[in-house]
Chain A
Amino acid sequence: MTAVGDVLRRGLAEDLGVPNGLEELHVLAVDDSLVDRKVIEQLLKISSCKVTAVESGTRALQYLGLDGEKSTAALNDLKINLIMTDYSMPGMSGYELLKKIKGSSAFREVPVVIMSSENILARINRCLEEGAEEFILKPVKLSDVKRLKDFIMRGEGEEKGKRRAPKRKLRDDVFTCDELTLESPTKFSAKRSTSLV
């Protein structure tokens, strides 16, 4: 527990203490579509983020060292600030990937965003309940990336933007694992959906 706390504290310090633009955010993007990978890569690059784009959940887990293989020492230095994953992918879905990430001690605090071309309320709720930060309708826009970046730069604790209620404090997350205390899941539903039917 202590070790995790230490990592967290260090992570928070990094996130909150770094002025805008000095340290690049590192985003892991997961999408089986070649076209979408190219677009998301550029969206993130234009937004001054470092991008690692992979084509599947399996590859993502490999990259994160969560695939059960002997993890390399290098992975201790792996800093991922955000994971953006497509929902519908052959093999492992974005939802399954989300669960694996949230189930890991190393990366459970990394915000995971689900992207999908389909506005299905049950799907959205399922992802949010599993710990997804947000559910974004494709095609992803520059404004979506900007919003995400702002959120991460601000740090996951206090929010100044007031656009969202603080749904979980980092520390609660680690120690209580209380995933189901979201007051109103629909508040965090797809930002651009107009009718959540």
Chain B
Amino acid sequence: MERNHFHRQLALTRQSLFDQGFLDEQFIQLEELQDDANPNFVEEVVTLYYRDSARLIHNIEQELEKSNLDFNKLDSYMHQFKGSSSSIGAKKVKAECSLFREYCRTGNGEGCMRSFQQLKKEYSTLKKKLEAYFQVEQVGQVHPPHSKLKSFVV
């Protein structure tokens, strides 16, 4: 009983990430790539994403501190950042990336800075949510929902 409730909760949490627009179908693609040989694939990719993109964020921050903004450079960093964000299904982050690139295209420094602040917010919100989700999911992996030990539905 408890196990069913737990898995229902996990499923609801997962669904809310989609419903609230944090994740898109690319995340589901990643889930489909998870198998017995790679049971933590999604978490691994997400972890890699956060590690790798931290570097990009740092580069962008440094660039934005300059008095003369190099919009080409900024756009190039953001292109990479958008790419990886898209690869993990980070929907809101990806949208902010597009916005930032628009500001680069029009040479709008203020817009870039505003958009970047928002992007960092979305980025860290998603990180917290995914970390929490994976933590709970790990617990569930000990007792997978389709396990033969699953208790009967009451």
Chain A residues within CB distance 8 Å of chain B = 33-36, 38-39, 42-43, 45-46, 88, 117, 138-139, 141-142
Please tell me if B33 contacts chain A, counting CB pairs below 8 Å.
Answer: yes
> Which of A33, A88, A141 is within 8 Å of B29, CB to CB?
A141
> Which of B30, B32, B38, B48 is within 8 Å of A34, CB to CB?
B48
Q: Are A33 and B83 in contact (CB under 8 A)?
A: yes
Q: Are B26 and A35 in contact (CB under 8 A)?
A: no
Interface residues on B, range: 20 to 34
A-facing mask of B26-38, CB < 8 A → 1, else 0? 1001101101001
Closest CB of chain A to B105's CB: distance in Å? 13
Q: Are A142 and B82 in contact (CB under 8 A)?
A: no
Q: Are B86 and A39 in contact (CB under 8 A)?
A: no
| Residues on the B chain within 8 Å of A45, using CB | 38
Please tell me if B18 contacts chain A, counting CB pairs below 8 Å.
Answer: no
> Which of A38, A46, A141 is within 8 Å of B48, CB to CB?
A38
Closest residue to B89 on the A side, CB-wise?
Answer: A139
Closest residue to A40 on the B side, CB-wise?
Answer: B87
Q: Are A138 and B33 in contact (CB under 8 A)?
A: no
What would be 27 A-B contacts, judged by CB atoms less than 8 Å apart?
A33-B80, A35-B48, A35-B49, A35-B87, A36-B83, A36-B84, A38-B44, A38-B45, A38-B48, A39-B30, A39-B33, A42-B33, A42-B38, A43-B33, A46-B33, A46-B35, A88-B79, A117-B79, A117-B83, A138-B86, A139-B26, A139-B29, A139-B86, A139-B87, A142-B29, A142-B32, A142-B33
Q: Majority SS of interface residues in chain A?
A: helix
Distance of A141 Cα from B25 Cα, bound (Å): 10
Closest CB of chain A to B59's CB: distance in Å? 13
Q: Which of B49-95 contact A (CB under 8 A)?
A: 49, 52, 79-80, 82-84, 86-88
Please tell me if B41 contacts chain A, counting CB pairs below 8 Å.
Answer: yes
Distance of A101 Cα from B149 Cα, bound (Å): 54
| Residues on the B chain within 8 Å of A46, using CB | 33, 35
Given A38-B45, A138-B83, A142-B33, 20 additional A-B pairs, CB 8 A: A33-B52, A34-B84, A35-B48, A35-B83, A35-B84, A35-B88, A36-B87, A38-B48, A39-B30, A39-B87, A43-B33, A46-B33, A117-B82, A117-B83, A117-B86, A139-B29, A139-B86, A141-B29, A142-B29, A142-B32
Q: 8 smallest A-B Cβ distances: which pairs?
A: A35-B84, A42-B33, A34-B52, A139-B87, A139-B26, A35-B49, A35-B87, A117-B83
| Residues on the B chain within 8 Å of A142, using CB | 29, 32-33
Closest residue to B49 on the A side, CB-wise?
Answer: A35
Distance of A141 Cα from B87 Cα, bound (Å): 10
Distance of A43 Cα from B87 Cα, bound (Å): 12
A-facing mask of B83-118, CB < 8 A → 1, else 0? 110111000000000000000000000000000000
Closest residue to B32 on the A side, CB-wise?
Answer: A142
Closest CB of chain A to B4's CB: distance in Å? 29
* Contact of A33 with B87 at beta-carbon distance under 8 Å, contacts A38-B44, A117-B82, A141-B29 already known: yes
Closest residue to B35 on the A side, CB-wise?
Answer: A46
